[in-house]
Homo-oligomer: A and B are copies of this chain.
């Protein structure tokens, strides 16, 4: 039998994203040893018991020195510190990737802290469900058939890019490439804005005196529209601030769209309303999620 592609993988953050990465590589027989780091001793212990990791790491310097691959699967807000912590100890061949939902900020942290190891850092954003979290939610098929966006750096060697791509493909993912800026603009539009809008609607209703009455008549349309308003406030606060400029542009454009609809209502412009709704329906009906 062939040697696994990765002898040693070190994962910071063994929750949904990091844990599923480990389980998927294991199932593909692509890794010999997985070492986990994290801020919660309880999560690490759980990850060990669930067979997600082989060992809980206790010395970052020693563990990253001979690692083939390091995955940063922590909240993005922790990544600058992590880059600074691992940079002095990384092996010359050690590859680095991450699972953050924003990319320009992660790339700028890498530029500040990774030094020459930037050549081995290939940023990634796996587009996989974020409603659940924690090691217990990790599953080997989380990435199966799902998109992972890589945002390679100009300094990446083709070998580093190819091996990190291969790692995500071994997890079952369909890998795409965008620049960090393209990535952040795309996700401001199709993910960050909808989350903000959904939070805003629920917050709006939550402030009302008659909110219990209102919510008692909310049905399946409201349920689906607001599902993402149950997402993590801390995570989305960070994403919104990390991708602030693109998100502000999206929000401004959306406000203009609402203004057009407001005016159409004001004028009782049935034709305009129907035109907007029909165009939306056509595009939405022809779209299927990955």
Partner-B contacts on A (CB < 8 A)? 127, 129, 147, 149, 176, 186-187, 189-191, 193-206, 208, 211, 213-234, 236-237, 240-241, 244, 247-248, 251-255, 257-259, 261-262, 265-266, 268, 270, 273-274, 276-285, 287, 289-290
Interface SS majority for chain A? helix
A262 and B233 contact, CB distance less than 8 A: no
Contact at A258–B255, with CB atoms within 8 Å? yes
Q: Report the Cα distance A196→B224, complex, angstroms.
A: 14
Which chain B residues border A234 with CB–CB below 8 Å?
274
Chain B residue with minimal CB distance to A245? Answer: B265
Contact of A277 among B221, B236, B251 (CB under 8 A): B236
For A234, give the chain B residue with the smallest CB separation.
Answer: B274
Whether A233 touches B200, Cβ cut-off 8 Å, given contacts A217-B186, A244-B265, A287-B218, is no
List of B residues within 8 angstroms of A129 by Cβ: 220
CB distance from A270 to the nearest CB of B (A): 6
Contacts A201-B254, A248-B262 given; indicate if A273 touches B241 (C-beta within 8 A). Answer: yes
Q: Which of B218, B248, B259, B273 contacts A289 (CB 8 A)?
A: B218
How far apart are the CA atoms of A182 and B250 in the complex, in Å? 34
| Cβ contacts under 8 Å, A233 to chain B | 274, 277-278, 280-281
A268 near B284 with CB under 8 A, answer: no
Residue from B206, B270, B273, B276 within 8 A of A283 (CB atoms):
B206
Q: Are B285 and A265 in contact (CB under 8 A)?
A: no
Is the beta-carbon distance between B274 and A237 smaller than 8 angstroms?
yes
Contact A241 B221 (CB under 8 A): no
